[in-house]
A and B are shown apart, each in its own frame.
Chain A
Amino acid sequence: MADEIVVGSDAKGDCRISAAPAKVTAVEVTTGDPHLFERGIREVVDETLAKLGRVRADVAVADQGALDYVLAARVEAAVRLMSPGTGAQAPKAIVPETRRRPSEQDAPRRSRLYAPGNSPRILVGIELHGADCVLVDLEDSVPPAEKAAARVLVKHLLTAIDFPNEVWVRINPLSLGGADDVREVLLARPHGVALPKAESKDDILALAKELADAERAVGAPRGSTWIMPILETGKGVLHAEEIASADPRVVAVAFGAEDYTRDVGARRTPEALLFARSMIVAAAKAAGVQASDTVYANVDDETGLAAEAKLARDLGFDGKGAIHPAQVPALHAAFTPSEKEMEEARKIVAAAEEAEARGIGAIAIGGKMIDRPVLERAKRAIKLAERLGSRRASPVDGCDGREARR
């Protein structure tokens, strides 16, 4: 068929949808076990077509174990990309019902776990690994030809899955399809949008305007979508301060070392990245927002990951990127205050409270003066620990010597 549009793939967990305009709609399904799956797949396809309006198309589904939301996304993308029949209008995007757990400006973001936005095999279950932020990517990991389908898939993913923590979308730069990304994915209300290659205050303001428009279109409160600029060029790093403070939507500033080293001609050594890292931390903290370090690319090197996470923590970062779920625990270990730090923090806060109660300006522990920023840091650590504590019971040891079943 000349006008046939093909969306999706033959990868496990995905499906391939071929769609072409037709006089009468016909759906053909191939799947591993038709007895078990065909009826359910047809239901999803029919419902999706109905939501898209009066579409007439030949739709062929080659299923590889796709979940319902993947099927729906693939069908929607294929039909919307299909050239409409003569006189007909291209169908509009499906506006799903989405419930999103609320998040806060300074929610814990120790890990931001990347996942490619057009790969169901990797996206399915991505919410289960405990990452503070799941960051679904529409930029570098999605080839240009798949961008349109990826947007739709991400929208359906965000609608179908109740993310326990935050879910973000990394869009493309606004000039390269980012505005389309915003319009589509905002329909499913991500907690925030990460902007790659941010270089100026204007970049942030332009995105904020797109977000405001999209929020109005879906009836969401203005300003309810966070922004995380990713600084990954020399210019972006030098403008860190104006970027971090550009808009109240900015809650964290992230560093992207891969592009940065390419941009400035550096090799990726801790020394070569030190200036950019420190610059970003200083700018973020000056603006009262979080700083998030770059990803560690070698999934198999746990020691290297732990060392780099510790370095980032030492420099003042609040979190770090992960390219595989297996990296998340190491990041959480690095960016969660240790028991010793917590003890210290509680002492400092107690001393401050006591000083205040007694009307003393200066805070001291054992004759050592405590500065204001130290107190602030202690309070932040306690708040972070409280938030994490409310998220899940803290690990404790015990359970020795209990009776066995038999």
Chain B
Amino acid sequence: MKNALGREIPKTIGSRSVEPYAGAFAKKRSGLKAPQPQKSCVPGENKVLPSLEAAIEAAGLKSGMTISFHHSFREGDRVINQVVDACARMGLKDLRLLPTALFGTHAKLVDHIKAGVVSRIEGSMNGPVGAYISQGGKLREPATLRSHGGRWRAIESGDVEIDVAFIAASQADAYGNANGINGRTPCGPITFCIVDAQHAKKTVVVTNDLAPYPAYPLEIQQGWVDYVVVVDEVGDPAQIASGTLEMTKSPARLRIARLAADAVVASPYFREGLSFQGGAGGVSLAATMYLAEAMEKAKIVGGFVMGGGTRVMVEMLHKGLVRTILDGQAFDPIAVASLGKDPAHVIMNPGLYANYDSRGCATYMLDAAFLGATEVDLDFNVNVNTHSDGQLLHGIGGHQDVAAGAKMTVITAPSIRGRLPVILDRVTTVTTPGEVVDVIVTERGLAVNPKRGDLKECLLAAGLPVRDLAEIKAEADGLVRPLGKPVFGDEVIAAIEWRDGTVIDVVRKVEGWQ
């Protein structure tokens, strides 16, 4: 069957039946959330266990069950590997992993997949695990990729059930209160897995720094936690930045950043109280900086800035350019340090900022957002999941949630990367539909979604190089001969969920080349 974007979607994917994507805000739900486990507790109970093995045993984890993790340590995470290694040593098989994201540091999971310890993954796969699956590595069921808000929604609604949640914390007390802000190796908020802790049948906090009661801030609370395990290492905070701290020096990328910021400045949203999402990565950082400069010059104070927290945002807060930072995950050590100190640097969670089935998302309060793309197409659809060779290499992150919410979603992407054109007739995979994308900025100019004639007028009036996306595409295509094209078979290796739980696209296995 075809979904609303014309993408061919199977009726069932693995053991799940599929509801096709029908539009960014088509789905309406009401009713009750999935029940949360309940257990009474008496004074004096001890939650501290001597080892991960002991916790796995106590939690009753068996083969075929589901375990979940957060990714706040990013490339520096040490907990996922330790836990899965322990499961393997204990002879567990056929586990389903529900991480918020996987990174290069989790490459050894490939061995666990081969050995049958892990047989299913639902979560973003950045790097080697995604590459392995794309290249024919077998999972028992196709992977499911969800946005930050989508994952929260799926757990809360019972679409996916967690048996044991393992929560890495840079600090925790013996009663289970845990955070990522304090301790010897802080990584920033660990709030992504609040929903895991609330809904998992058992919740295990894993820390390297056991603090006196109460450990705070109370990101993860004692009432949700069954066991606490102290290990030598939970993660290396030096690696949370992984390439996101660097300001780009590339003239083309700086030009993209400049145009993106100029577009927001030219928009009606550039006024007192402006709120925006500034991500990590060279272009987003530079665009945020340019926007901050423009705000300073125009004497505008922003309402809030949202995102993975960065040094640039913290500087804006200190300069009085913005009243509040809403921070769901820290992208550099300066953001981590600020979180503990500054009350206007507010910790948030995906339930608050992105949950489709809730009574409000912080992203819906955004004026503008800068987001990246692996590919875009002439319908303004965006792909951040697969490469043009069909390989599944990246997660969705908050892309869908932010794009859907912001009044002005600005996609920044070069028109060509090396020999690889970025603007296509049809993206390899749709992550975010063109319906919620307003402007695409390339080094060759900006293209405005035809739906936004009002915005186009503003950008033209400001003298910005507004162009037809097809014209920019033709210019970039003219620089290189046509690429080889992957031929996809029928086999689905991953489902891409829209944030409401419908399927917006699937990733199929590459069977050949033309």
Chain B residues near A33 (CB-CB < 8 A): 389
Contact B251 A326 (CB under 8 A): yes
**A265 contacts the other chain (CB 8 A):** no
Contact B454 A402 (CB under 8 A): yes
Contact status of A394 and B389, CB under 8 A, knowing A68-B480, A325-B254: no
A-binding segment of B94-102, B127-135, B205-213, B482-490: B482-490
A399, B267: Cα distance in complex, Å = 7
A394 in complex: contacting residue of B251, B268, B438, B463, CB < 8 Å: B463
**A340 contacts the other chain (CB 8 A):** no
A393, B464: Cα distance in complex, Å = 8
Chain A residues near B268 (CB-CB < 8 A): 399-402, 404
**B462 contacts the other chain (CB 8 A):** yes
A105, B444: Cα distance in complex, Å = 28
How many of chain A's residues touch chain B, expressed as a range? 35 or more
Give chain B nearest CB distance to A215 CB in angstroms: 28
**B417 contacts the other chain (CB 8 A):** yes
Chain A residues near B269 (CB-CB < 8 A): 404
B-binding segment of A58-66, A167-175, A201-209: A58-66
Chain A residues near B389 (CB-CB < 8 A): 33, 35-36
A404 in complex: contacting residue of B266, B407, B443, B463, CB < 8 Å: B407
B251 in complex: contacting residue of A31, A67, A325, CB < 8 Å: A325
A40 in complex: contacting residue of B388, B408, B419, B458, CB < 8 Å: B419
Chain A residues near B460 (CB-CB < 8 A): 393
**B481 contacts the other chain (CB 8 A):** yes
Give chain A nearest CB distance to B410 CB in angstroms: 13
A124, B420: Cα distance in complex, Å = 14
Contact A65 B418 (CB under 8 A): yes
Chain A residues near B252 (CB-CB < 8 A): 124-125, 128
Contact B419 A65 (CB under 8 A): yes
Contact A406 B458 (CB under 8 A): no
Contact status of A36 and B462, CB under 8 A, knowing A65-B417, A399-B266, A402-B268: no
Contact A396 B484 (CB under 8 A): no
Convert B477-502 into 0s and 1s, putting 1 for each residue whose CB lies closer than 8 angstroms to a CB of A: 00111111010000000000000000
Contact status of A125 and B254, CB under 8 A, knowing A66-B419, A396-B461: no
Contact A63 B419 (CB under 8 A): yes
B481 in complex: contacting residue of A68, A129, A398, A405, CB < 8 Å: A68
Query: Which residue of chain A is the closest to B253 with respect to CB atoms?
Result: A125
**B360 contacts the other chain (CB 8 A):** no
Chain A residues near B461 (CB-CB < 8 A): 393, 396, 398-399
A251, B42: Cα distance in complex, Å = 91
**B201 contacts the other chain (CB 8 A):** no
**B271 contacts the other chain (CB 8 A):** yes
A296, B226: Cα distance in complex, Å = 64
Contact status of A128 and B452, CB under 8 A, knowing A36-B484, A40-B482, A68-B480: no
**B223 contacts the other chain (CB 8 A):** no
Chain A residues near B482 (CB-CB < 8 A): 40
Query: Which residue of chain B is the closest to A65 with respect to CB atoms?
Result: B418
Convert B230-258 into 0s and 1s, putting 1 for each residue whose CB lies closer than 8 angstroms to a CB of A: 00000000000000000000011011000
Contact status of A395 and B255, CB under 8 A, knowing A12-B418, A35-B389: no
A396 in complex: contacting residue of B444, B463, B480, B483, CB < 8 Å: B463
B418 in complex: contacting residue of A13, A160, A326, CB < 8 Å: A13
Chain B residues near A31 (CB-CB < 8 A): 419
**A38 contacts the other chain (CB 8 A):** yes
A43, B484: Cα distance in complex, Å = 12
Contact B484 A37 (CB under 8 A): yes
B449-485 with Cβ < 8 A to chain A:
451-452, 454, 457-458, 460-463, 465, 479-484
Chain A residues near B479 (CB-CB < 8 A): 67-69, 160
Query: Which residue of chain A is the closest to B407 with respect to CB atoms?
Result: A404
Query: Which residue of chain B is the closest to A39 with respect to CB atoms?
Result: B484
Contact B443 A125 (CB under 8 A): yes
A26-50 with Cβ < 8 A to chain B:
31-33, 35-41, 43-44
A324, B443: Cα distance in complex, Å = 15
Chain B residues near A36 (CB-CB < 8 A): 388-389, 419-420, 483-484
Chain A residues near B254 (CB-CB < 8 A): 325-326
Q: List 18 A-B contacts (CB under 8 A).
A: A12-B418, A35-B486, A36-B484, A40-B483, A43-B481, A63-B419, A65-B420, A67-B419, A67-B479, A68-B479, A68-B480, A122-B251, A125-B252, A393-B463, A396-B463, A402-B458, A403-B454, A405-B407
Give residues in B with beta carbon < 8 Å to A. 251-252, 254-255, 266-269, 271, 388-389, 407-408, 416-420, 438, 443-444, 451-452, 454, 457-458, 460-463, 465, 479-484, 486, 513
CB-based closest 9 A-B pairs: A65-B418, A40-B481, A399-B458, A395-B463, A325-B251, A402-B268, A125-B252, A67-B479, A36-B483
Other A-B pairs beyond A44-B481, A64-B418, A67-B480, 15, CB < 8 Å: A12-B418, A33-B389, A35-B389, A39-B484, A41-B481, A69-B479, A125-B443, A128-B252, A128-B444, A392-B463, A393-B461, A394-B463, A399-B458, A400-B271, A405-B407
